[in-house]
Amino acid sequence: MPSVVLSQLPIPRQNFGRRTGNIPLGAACLKQAGRDLAGVAIEILPQHLAAHLGDAALIDHLSQARAEIYGFTVFSWNLTRSLYFAEKLKTAANCRVIFGGPEITPDNALAKSAFVDFYACGEGEAVFRRLLQDPESWRAGSGAESAADVFRAAESPYLSGMIDPAIENLMLIETQRGCPYRCGFCFYNKSRAGLVFAEEGNLLKAVTWAVERKIAEVYLLDPSLNSRPRLKPLLSAIARRNAGGTVRMFSEIRAEAVDEELADLLAAAGFDWFEIGLQSTNPKALKLMNRPTQLKRFVAGARRLKARGITPSIDLIIGLPGDDLRGFMRSVDFVADQGLQDDVQIFPLAVLPGTDFRRRHRELGLEFENQPPYTVTTSRGFAPEDFLLAYDYAESRLNAAFFPMPDLDASWRLGAVQSLAQASDLRVGLGKAAYVAKLMLNRVRPLDGIRRLARRLTQPYQVLVAPDLGDMNYLKEVLAITTSENPFTPLEVVFFEPAGLPGTRDILAALKLSRPHFLDGDLRFLFPQPGNRAALFTLVSGDPHPRFQGEMERQVYWWRGPALPALPDLDPFETLDGILIDAAAAPAAVAAWQDRFGREAAERFHISFADADLQRRWLLLASPDEYVQQVMPWKAG
């Protein structure tokens, strides 16, 4: 019986337990499409494992499944990691590997690998079924096939239990495939010829299912909701099912299409946020990207949404052909002047495989990174330094932070543990097993044990370095082991009151991370100089003088007073990157402090708590929508 395991690896991030948004909807559609095939067993890598396990632990989990076929949904953020997994799985056992997803395009040479047996371009259901039924079809090595009929008639895979919305408390409903527009930077319009719409009855069934289960959020995956025929009656029907707005609805729309009636219907249906691509107000840039925009109608539509309590989240792009720094600044001014700055997302142009801009990049004068996320580095209008200037301008004009530092979590103890010398590794339960999220180095530990633990690390993970460790060569040996087993997993090294400043360049040189790491490209604007942005260094110290704030470095004040601080007590540490509260107070008193000062403290400072349970409580309190409760509680040892 062919056994299949389908995986989708998440966007790498620096905070453990944060929602990843990595919902394997593509895998669920494939599983649903193949469920009637006799003798085929299809599994999806559980979402909580995909989200929170490091490379080695995930590969071990996948290997143990002994599948004959491994499938990966490939995006720019997981391409190199998926290739690494394919190599490991095929080297270890006789299996076949399929790649599909937006990153798999005929012109993407980076995806080519001897460890991938088949590339499915575009929608996958029909190709997948053929591969499972006809062994000969593997010979082609790649294929594309319309799945319009399957998609149009299919129920949401949530309803058949293929996928569980509980982890992210978010349900994705695919309403349409293909896009009528032809924006030059986008691949979505090329992923299939023509449009296909999910049947209205199935959409309404899915919304009803979400409302009955009180799913917090439903995202209608539609590149432009307004392009759906019979949209207004559909919205009226959704409004009847979601009366009272039990479910918060989200989607994407062209603002120019929003008239008064549509805005009323969207509000009644429960929508409270729309992603709206403006991209630029520069006529030359709009023309080159083939995105005609009527700015007056755009503003009128966005304001109609706002007037009904629906947040228009406006997208802008830096580095578009035809645009320059001044043009970008004018676009930012436009958004601010029109009062549309509540939620603005700004992306550097990504010259994605398969797009018109990629095909015409020479003609358009675009230079870009040849690794994901393919960020443009210069264009005719943008010098390399203009990108940072553009972000600086947008941050000050819109009063926003587009590259915030990761949340602070310098927790290190649990239960009755009082000192770093007594502390041990901190683990989290995921599925039936426990994995190490915080590796404690408060003594020299045998490297064999470190090697074993390196295969049980979470994504991301921390290495906590106590003052007594001292030996930086030993630390480098440990990090070389953990990173060689987990070359794609972001990590943070937290130094507690070290004797001298840690030499981070020296430590970085010892890391066996895959380079360039996706985060190197993705976070290139966090720090102006190139560096390895998949590794973060945090210094926790009782010294209030800033001395450790270079590339991917942050310094945190260690509050070890006998009592908890009042908020004014924290003012002297405003120049640092955060405060670790490690007072000798009872857990109930710390929890009361969190409840009392929570919002105000979180707005002014990056705060962490030494007790890991209280830290998790704090994260859920300060960022209630950002963290996943299921990865609690912690276990020591």
Interacting residue ranges for ligand SF4, rule: CB under 6 A: 179, 181-183, 186, 188-189, 223-224, 277
**What is the spatial distance between Cα 174 and Cα 430, in angstroms, rounded to a whole number?**
29
Q: Give 185 or 597: the residue with its C-beta nearer to ligand SF4.
A: 185
CB of 183 to ligand SF4, least distance (A): 3
The SS3 assignment for 541 reads strand
Q: What is the DSSP string of 360-382?
A: THHHHT-EE-SSTT-BEEE-SS-
CB of 289 to ligand SF4, least distance (A): 8
**What is the spatial distance between Cα 362 and Cα 151, in angstroms, rounded to a whole number?**
37
Give me the phi and psi of 166, to 5 degrees please: -65, -40
Q: Give 276 or 622: the residue with its C-beta nearer to ligand SF4.
A: 276
Rounded (5°) CA angle 384-390-395: 140
Q: Give 231 or 430: the residue with its C-beta nearer to ligand SF4.
A: 231
Q: Give 45 or 349: the residue with its C-beta nearer to ligand SF4.
A: 349
CB of 511 to ligand SF4, least distance (A): 37
**What is the spatial distance between Cα 26 and Cα 7, in angstroms, rounded to a whole number?**
9
CB of 316 to ligand SF4, least distance (A): 13
Q: Give 8 or 224: the residue with its C-beta nearer to ligand SF4.
A: 224
**What is the spatial distance between Cα 106 and Cα 95, in angstroms, rounded to a whole number?**
24
* Closest alpha carbon to 447 in 475, 466, 412: 475
* Closest alpha carbon to 519 in 556, 492, 555: 492
CB of 184 to ligand SF4, least distance (A): 9
Q: Give 182 or 452: the residue with its C-beta nearer to ligand SF4.
A: 182
CB of 149 to ligand SF4, least distance (A): 22
CB of 188 to ligand SF4, least distance (A): 4
CB of 579 to ligand SF4, least distance (A): 42
CB of 144 to ligand SF4, least distance (A): 19
Residue 233: both structure tokens together = 């009656």
**What is the spatial distance between Cα 543 and Cα 498, in angstroms, rounded to a whole number?**
11
**What is the spatial distance between Cα 408 and Cα 28, in angstroms, rounded to a whole number?**
34
Q: Give 122 or 223: the residue with its C-beta nearer to ligand SF4.
A: 223
Contacts made by residues 417-421, CB under 8 angstroms, sequence distance 24+: 417/636, 420/464, 420/466, 420/467, 420/468, 420/496, 421/466, 421/468
CB of 402 to ligand SF4, least distance (A): 20
Q: What is the torsion angle, in degrees rounded to the nearest 10, for the CA atoms of residue 163, residue 167, residue 169 and residue 175?
A: -30
Q: Give 131 or 173: the residue with its C-beta nearer to ligand SF4.
A: 173
CB of 280 to ligand SF4, least distance (A): 13
Q: What is the DSSP string of 211-246?
A: HHTT-SEEEEE-S-GGGSTTHHHHHHHHHHHTTT-S
**What is the spatial distance between Cα 548 and Cα 535, in angstroms, rounded to a whole number?**
15
Q: Give 30 or 286: the residue with its C-beta nearer to ligand SF4.
A: 286
Q: Give 95 or 352: the residue with its C-beta nearer to ligand SF4.
A: 352
Cβ atoms within 10 A of the Cβ of 237, count? 18
**What is the spatial distance between Cα 533 and Cα 516, in angstroms, rounded to a whole number?**
9
Q: Give 184 or 502: the residue with its C-beta nearer to ligand SF4.
A: 184
